[in-house]
Amino acid sequence: MVLYLLRRILSALGILLLISLFTYAIFFLLSPDPAVLICGKTCTPERIDQIRGQLGLDQPFWVQYWEFLRGLVAGRSYGDGPSAIDCAAPCLGFSFQTNESVTNMITSRFPVSATLAIGAAVLWLLAGIGGGLLSAVKQGTWWDRGAMMVALGGISLPNYFVALILQYVLVVQLQILPFPTAVEFGENPLLWFQSYLMPWLVLAFAYASMYARLVRTNVIDTLGENFMRTARAKGLAAPLILRRHALRPALTPVVTLFGMDFAGLLGGALITETVFGLNGVGKLAADSIAKNDQPVIMGVTLLAALFVVFGNVIVDILYTVLDPRVRVTSR
């Protein structure tokens, strides 16, 4: 088990390394000269050279990449002597726009993204699994058809569209909710909750739709399994058959999907955050892309990759707990 874990974690780190290399190479090759960007419009060639030297941009690619990696693990400093700027590990560099430490920028915004992801996840798991299950059991009824229609809408309607409709209905027309504002939980818990409710709903709607359809199909498939016939032939009560024999096989694949989706969301929900003006990692990514702020783009990309890759590892480990066939079979 320990060996297996070690192997999985090592390979995950390998994948992360590759991702960092690729993203670094892409930015290195494709983007305009960062020194020019930093320097601004009133710029002399000498000044550009100076910035280049300070950032290490005059070094060859491999040296720059190596420095970047080293900064991530051990921290680094830009420039020499008294003008040197220290950057503690994990160092992702400084924003070209604001000169802020990218690491700080991300850590300060991460709680917003995490709050969004966790709240949405609770909603979509409840609605997706509950709705899918009900649809499967009541297959072919009006409930099933209606729910699947709604789910189809949830999958096909773009997030921002749903967000706009929701805002229009809940805030403008019915005036049940105030317009979302950035407020800390400690300041005003009710307003905090109200502000997050719409983003949660919008995000959860899309995922819940997907999950409901998946759960429905899985449960229907499972109900057709031979072991379900055995369970009935044993004379078990219908609720027990559903709860014990249908649910676990049907929901196990959902774990994989959830692990990936949730991990992906921790890395920022770009559209939802932007639409609702939530200052999370997703919005940070959108802003930095708009301004071509390379260190920040690098930082959020790596963060997203980190979550997805390790989300994967956790799902794999969970699977061995959930599915006995994946467990050690030797006696």
The contact set with other proteins (CB under 8 A) reads 1, 3-4, 7, 225-227, 229-238, 240, 244-245, 248-249, 252, 320, 323-331
Nearest approach in angstroms of CB 247 to other proteins is 10
Among 25, 200, 210, which residue's Cα sits nearest to residue 122?
Answer: 200
**Residue whose CB is less far from other proteins, 44 or 226:** 226
**Residue whose CB is less far from other proteins, 135 or 301:** 135
Nearest-5° Cα angle at 329, 324 to 331: 130
Nearest approach in angstroms of CB 316 to other proteins is 8
**Residue whose CB is less far from other proteins, 175 or 330:** 330
What phi, psi does 205 have (nearest 5°)? Answer: -60, -50
**Residue whose CB is less far from other proteins, 179 or 227:** 227
156: exposed, middle or buried (C-beta count within 10 Å: 0-12, 13-18, 19+)?
A: exposed
CB neighbour burial string for 10-47, b if at least 16 within 10 angstroms, e if fewer = eebeebbeebbeebbeebeeeeeebbebbbeeeeeeee
Nearest approach in angstroms of CB 321 to other proteins is 11
Helix (H, G, I), strand (E, B) or coil at 59: coil
**Residue whose CB is less far from other proteins, 2 or 29:** 2
Nearest approach in angstroms of CB 311 to other proteins is 18
Nearest approach in angstroms of CB 253 to other proteins is 12
Nearest approach in angstroms of CB 78 to other proteins is 43
Which residue bears the tokens 């708009």? Answer: 290
Per DSSP, 33 falls in state P
**Torsion (CA) 171, 271, 193, 279 in degrees, nearest 10:** -120
Tell me the two tokens of residue 142. Answer: 């009006």
Nearest approach in angstroms of CB 317 to other proteins is 9
Residues 6+ apart with CB under 8 A from 329: none
**Residue whose CB is less far from other proteins, 82 or 324:** 324
**Residue whose CB is less far from other proteins, 85 or 326:** 326
